[in-house]
A = this chain, B = another copy of it.
C-alpha cells in the first residue's frame, strides 16, 4: 500500500452540456479515478458567467465567476467554454501558473493550436484535447502514441453528425436536402442557423486538427479547402446508390507529393468502404498508415456524456503525469511538412452532363479530358436518351484538383454540352 498522495486540484471552465457531465463524472467516479491516477482529484471550482443559475447535480458552492482566480490555484484546468476568447487567454494563464490543460475546444485549436502546443511545451505541462476532434472516439491518443512508430499517409473522417444524418436521411428516404434539413431542425438535430454544419465549417476545423496531428504540421482552419453539402441533390444520392456508392461529407488530410492537403467536401465512397456504412449521427475516422495499414475509429462525435468521457480520460492521463513525473508527447519537436496548395490535392471526379444526343459528342468530351492529362476510369449513359438529350456520367482516375476543375470548366463550355448537372469527388476507391 502506497501512502496516499496529496489531492490534485481540478478547475472547470464552463458548465454547459459537457461541463456538467464532466463535473458529474469527477464526483461519481472519484474512487476509481483516484486509483487510476495514484492521487485523489479534487474539483475545486467551476467558472461560469452567472453563478446564480442552478445546474442539475452540481454543488452550487463550487461555482465562481472569477475564472482567472480559479486557474491560478489549479493543477489541472478543464476548458469546455468553447469559442476563442476568453478560452485562449485562460489556457495561457493556466500554463503560466504551471497547470496542465484539457480542452474540448475545436475552434480554438483549429485557429491557434500550434501556439498553444508550443506554450504548453515551454511551460513543461500537458495540453490534451481528445474531445476536440470526434467527441468520445479515442483518436488523438492512438494517433499520437499508438502510431508513433508508423507513418500516417491519409485520414478520411466523417466528423460532423448533422450532415451525416442529413445525407443518411436523403439516401434512405429519397428526400431533397431542404426537406431533410427542415425536419432535422424541427427534431433538434440541426441548429436554427445550420451554416457551420452544412457548409462544412465545423468539419473543416476538425480537418485542421487531424492534419496537424497526422503530419506534425501547422495546419489552421484557413488552410482547409471547404465545400459543404447544400448542393447535393436527391438525384445525386439516388445515382450514388444505384452505382454502389454512398455520399459522405469527408474531412480529408493527406500527404501528397506537394505537401499536406487538408480539405472538406462531399465524396462518393464505394459501399464496401468501412466509412460508407457509418450512419445517422455517428462519427468515424479512417486512417491509413504505412505499416499498420487501414484503421478505423467509430463512435459518438458529440453529446454531453460522450464528450465528457473523452475529457475525463485526458484528465487521468495528465494527472498521472503530475503524480509520476513526466508529460505527454511533445508536439513541437517533430519533422514538419509543407502545406500543399488547395488545387494540388489529388482526387478523382465523377461528373454528370446533359449533352446533345448525336454522334461525336462522346469523342469531343473524351478529347477535352485527355488534353488536361486526366484519364477516364468509366464513361456511361444514365438512363435512355430522350428528346435529343442524353445524360452522360464520367468518372476519372486520380488527378490534381486543378486539372480536374479545368477539365470540367472546358467541358461545360462545349456547344454540345447543355449542362454540367453534378460534380462529385470519389474517395476511398
Q: Which residues of A contact B (CB under 8 A)?
A: 21, 25, 29, 31-33, 35-36, 38, 130, 136-138, 141-142, 145-151, 272, 274, 277-279, 284, 289-300, 303, 305-306, 308-313, 315-317, 320-321, 324-327, 329-330, 333-335
Contact = CB atoms under 8 A, between A and B. Distances in A.
A316 B147 CA distance: 9
A35 B141 contact: no
A333 B138 contact: no
Contacts of A291: 21, 25, 136, 305-306, 308-309, 312
B279 A293 contact: no
A300 B292 contact: yes
A59 to B, nearest CB: 19
A35 B216 CA distance: 12
19 contacts: A29-B149, A29-B151, A31-B335, A32-B335, A36-B334, A138-B141, A138-B145, A141-B141, A145-B313, A147-B313, A149-B312, A291-B306, A292-B299, A292-B306, A293-B305, A295-B299, A296-B298, A297-B297, A324-B327
Q: Can you list the 4 inter-chain pairs with the closest CB atoms, starting with the nearest?
A: A149-B312, A324-B326, A325-B325, A138-B146
A123 B79 CA distance: 37
Given A33-B149, A330-B38, A136 B295 contact: yes
Nearest to A41: B149
**Most chain B beta-carbon contacts within 10 A, residue among A35, A298, A309, A327:** A309
B141 A334 contact: no
A300 B293 contact: yes
A344 to B, nearest CB: 25
Nearest to A300: B293
> What secondary structure prevails in chain A residues at the interface with B?
mixed
Contacts of A130: 146
A340 B325 CA distance: 39
Given A147-B309, A294-B300, A297-B297, 20 more contacts: A25-B291, A32-B149, A36-B334, A38-B330, A136-B295, A138-B146, A142-B142, A145-B316, A145-B317, A146-B310, A149-B316, A274-B277, A274-B298, A290-B305, A291-B305, A293-B300, A293-B306, A296-B297, A297-B298, A325-B325
Nearest to A295: B299
Contacts of A335: 31-32, 35
A309 B136 contact: no
A247 to B, nearest CB: 17
A418 to B, nearest CB: 39
A310 B150 CA distance: 9
A361 to B, nearest CB: 39
A22 to B, nearest CB: 9
Given A35-B335, A277-B274, A324-B327, A148 B292 contact: no
A38 B329 CA distance: 9
A312 B292 CA distance: 11
Nearest to A328: B320
A91 B182 CA distance: 61
A29 B327 CA distance: 23
A150 B334 contact: no
A2 to B, nearest CB: 9
A39 to B, nearest CB: 12
